[in-house]
Amino acid sequence: MIWRCEREAPARPGGHGQEAGFTLIEVIVVLAVLAFAMALIVGYKPPWSSGLGLRGTAAELASSLRLARSEAILQNRPVLFELDLSGRRFRIGNGTVRQLPRQLSIELLTVSGERRDFASGDIRFNPDGSSTGGRISLADGRQKMAVGVDWL
């Protein structure tokens, strides 16, 4: 007596023995639709987003001022944050010169001893963490932001 041992795979509900999943064409179509949608979203600039450049620049200046203070404390020597209003650039100590956006108006309020001329000035950070203080105001025509440095 010979018995055959065969095993049948159970049928999938709703299917006729076909494997479930997506075809390559379906995946490509979905990816193409997503790529098109992302291109529209990235290219779209709503009217209220014009302040992003203003906020980003203010955040960059605040971060650079904190870095200057930290360098003064760590190196135990005064560090200058130099701001050139006419050239629209700034730098920390002898570091790299960073450009500021052309579309923003920039003003610097600082003690008279730190003004080199009408279009440039410094904020000096001392090794004890104090500074000469100052205020950098930024505006884009509709909004205005300021980054302040306390003298203590």
Domain ranges of the chain: 50-149
* pTM given for the model: 0.64
pLDDT in tens, 15-72: 555 667 788 898 898 888 888 787 777 665 555 444 458 888 999 999 999 999 999 9
To the nearest 10°, the Cα dihedral for 53, 57, 58, 64?
Answer: 160
Which overall architecture, per CATH, does domain 50-149 show? 3-Layer(bab) Sandwich (3.55)
Confidence (pLDDT) at 5: 55
For residue 124, the cross-strand partners are 80
H helical segments located in 8-87: 24-43, 51-75
Residue 120 CA, chain-centre distance (Å), reads 25
DSSP H/E element including 121 = strand 120-125
pLDDT at 19: 67
